[in-house]
Amino acid sequence: MNSLELKAFIRKHSSLFWYIPEDKKEEISHEVLVEFILNYGSMDDVKELFRLLGMKRVAEIFFQSINKSERRTGNYHELTRHYFTLLFNRYAH
């Protein structure tokens, strides 16, 4: 279950989750949230995500997702995957 602060963050960025019904958006998984914010959010959005979930938790979700399967790896843009792999390897481990 997402915290009230996280739900407000999701509402603020609800246009990113256009394919999810409005009444389900606030309950999206952290995996979906991380994927869409890292791929499509601004750097301020990424910083806010780090503040809400913590950089280490975001890094865990990111690495679990890209290591799950080739298809899941493809969910991240190549430059996004490369940048955040470098960032998390340096600052989250």
79 token code pair: 């430059």
Number of domains present in the structure of the chain: 1
64 is in which domain, residue-wise?
4-15+26-91
Domain assignment present for residue 37? The answer is yes
pTM over 0.85: yes
Confidence of residue 71 (pLDDT cuts 50, 70, 90): low
Q: Which residues contact 26 (CB under 8 A, 6 or more apart)?
A: 2, 7, 10, 11
Report d(CA 7, CA 28) in Å as an integer. 9
Is 20 domain-assigned? no
Asked if residue 21 belongs to a domain, the reply is no
Radius of gyration of the chain (CA): 13
Of 36, 53, 37, the residue nearest 45 (C-alpha)? 37
* Per-residue pLDDT at 56: 97
